[in-house]
Amino acid sequence: MQRIHDVGGLPAGPVDRSPHDYAPWEKKVDAIMRLMIGANLFTLDEMRRTIEELGPGAYEELSYYQRWIQAAANLALEKGLVTPSELGQAIETAKARHAEAASCP
């Protein structure tokens, strides 16, 4: 069975290879993943698996780093590194910080 991420041989359109700047949150996601893998809390193979398990809707709708952070959250829950309530609270705290930063001139 071919999964959503397996596009080998299928028409996918042009690939944008132009250099671009990363948003601060994307840099943070990259750093988080490097730290988690470096601390042996996740493996690269586990991350790949959880990204592949996101399903067609999420995989197609999320950006590259959004898929990474969603997969990392799923993996942290799966491994018991964080509880659903702890993750929910962290998300709410991040949303509040984002809203506060957006309202500052």
Residue 18, classed as helix, strand or coil, is: coil
Q: Domain of residue 36: give its range.
A: 24-103
In a domain, 4, yes or no: no
Q: Does residue 14 sit within a domain? A: no
Q: The domain spanning residue 96 has which CATH number? A: 1.10.472.20
What pLDDT does residue 39 have?
Answer: 95
Return the pLDDT at 6: 57
Domain membership flag for residue 17: no
Q: Classify residue 2: in a domain, yes or no.
A: no
Residue 95 Cα distances to 17, 66, 79, 100, 102, angstroms:
31, 15, 24, 9, 10
What is the structure's pLDDT at 1?
60
The reply to whether 55 falls in a domain is: yes
Q: Based on the structure, what is the number of domains in the chain?
A: 1
Segments of the chain with pLDDT less than 50: none
Specify if 31 maps to a domain: yes
Domain presence at residue 10? no
pLDDT for residue 8: 60
Please indicate, yes or no, if residue 15 is contained in any of the structural domains: no
